[in-house]
Amino acid sequence: MSKQRILVVDDERSMRDLLSIMLTQAGYNVATADGGEAAIETLRQEGFDLVITDLRMRKADGLAVLSAAKELSPQAVVLVVTAFASTETAVEAMKLGAYDYITKPFKLDEIKLTIANALERKRLQDENIALKEQLRKERGLENFIGKSRRLLDVVETIRKSADSFSTVMITGESGTGKELVARAIHQESPRRNGPFLSVNCGAIPEGLMESELFGHVRGAFTGAVANTIGLFSAGTGGTLFLDEITEVPRAIQVKLLRAIQEREIRRVGDTRDVKVDVRLIAASNRDLAKAVADGALREDLFYRLNVIPIHLPPLRERREDIPLLVAHFIQKIGAELGKIVRSVSPEALAVFETYHWPGNIRELENVVERALVLGQGEVLDVDALPPNLRRPHDAQDIQLEITEGGLDLEATLDRIEQRYIQLALERTGGVQTRAAELLRVSFRQFRYKLQKHSLRGSFPRGPRADEQ
């Protein structure tokens, strides 16, 4: 409470002294001004949490003090003190931004309560601002760790594209941070205060995708017991991020194209078009040129989405960033775990820098977390790293040979595929959506392969796809 500063403004000395003594005894830091002009000059020099000003004063009145406070100390809360005869002017002051007004004569207990409530509002405002700033740092450009030219080029593209309404197409392997880029674009844009909605198109059943994206009206199909607005409408004023865009069925791609071109949608079962105001960002871990050639992505939709292309390089192509990323994750995860690690041994750092990181940044973060949990002391040593990282790179490759009698290629490839699926599920604790990301296939493809190899019951499902 001693840090909360209050400015008392009144041209009557007795009123200034009464409020100053009362607030000082309550533990506040109090300054006084003997009129509006003195108050405005004080506001130019100092900041305050609360300003209490009389409304009727000679020369500069309370409205002038209110206006100056909003300009010079915009986070300050303003209370106006008025006589019964000027309550209409006090109401006008509230329209201009005053928190409340106090009528003379007043009871000390009442004014103390009003001041406490006003300062509580100030505290909540400050807390909200701090949380927004923290969110901006966590999801904005500050979260891109590295010094490589390719990463800096990505950051520069994010910065330049954030203010526009243009669609963005993000490509890159799984684990490179595509959603992080989408969130950074949103946080740096004028839409930062609007919603950011993220959807994995590969995790939505094909029969429900149109309804999820565009909404439906009651009775449109069995189970449609109420109107649903869909993600395009829910994202009004914000950003909609469509991950794994190539998993959207071609029939729905046509409607997606129209939504981008016309900025309007039609809900399932409706006859009316609805205008939408949402910025679209899409992403894929596939080769988009091949996806277009294979028919997985309509060519016209590709060009509509690819207005601003952003490609995220795999971690193995930006190795100079690895030490910085390791240091960042040690600090971040160490704080969460309550562990202090001051350095990384040269041997461990060499392993980090030479490993090929098929899971990219996501895998690196998981490895650092494992090392902090299992490691001892303030130095992260090589013994805390997983065995597969410590093996020579060549030992990580598939060993191939053909016997004199030949081999059954399809059966061999099936066994290899099955083994990799098992390894992915083991690594992710049976969470199928994460295993699919690790193998760089869509969730729909992954489910098909599980059925093909009769592996569905071999591992726990983990969270449902729509809970990821």
Judge whether 29 and 5 are in contact, CB under 8 Å: yes
Instruction: Please say whether the structural domain 5-135 has been given the CATH code 2.60.40.1930.
Output: no
- Would you state the pLDDT for residue 85? 55
Every domain of the chain and the residues it spans: 5-135, 140-313, 316-396, 409-467
Regarding pTM above 0.95, the answer is: no
Fold classified for 316-396: Helicase, Ruva Protein; domain 3 (1.10.8)
Q: 140-313 sits in which CATH class?
A: alpha beta
Residue entry with tokens 């994206």 = 213
Distance CA 99, CA 114 (A): 10
DSSP-derived 3-state class of residue 258: helix
Tens digit of each residue's pLDDT (9 = 90 or more) over 31-82:
998 888 898 989 888 888 899 998 888 778 888 888 888 888 887 889 888 8
Handedness of CA 378, 382, 387, 388 (dihedral sign): positive
Question: Distance (Å, rounded) from C-alpha 142 to C-alpha 135?
Answer: 11
Residue with the bigger pLDDT between 420 and 148: it is 148
Q: Where are the alpha helices (DSSP H) in 278-342?
A: 288-294, 299-305, 322-337
Render 396-439 in DSSP notation, one character per residue.
GSPP----TT---HHHHHHHHHHHHHHHHHHHTTT-HHHHHHHT
Strands across the sheet containing 308-311: 196-200, 239-243, 279-284, 168-171, 308-311
User: What number of residues does the chain have?
Assistant: 468
Q: Which range among 99-108, 358-367, 423-432 has the greatest average pLDDT?
A: 358-367
* Residue 293 token pair: 């050639």
pLDDT at 394: 39
pLDDT tens digits for 179-217? 999 999 998 999 988 999 999 998 898 888 988 999 888
- Beta strands of 44-157 (E only): which ranges? 50-54, 77-83, 100-104
What CATH number should be reported for the domain whose range is 409-467?
1.10.10.60
**What mean pLDDT do residues 378-398 have?**
71
Which three-class secondary structure state does DSSP give residue 152?
Answer: helix
| pLDDT tens digit sequence for 364-381 | 999 999 999 988 888 899
Q: Rounded to an integer, what distance in angstroms lies between the CA atom of residue 182 and that of residue 244?
A: 13
Same CATH fold assignment for domains 5-135 and 140-313: yes
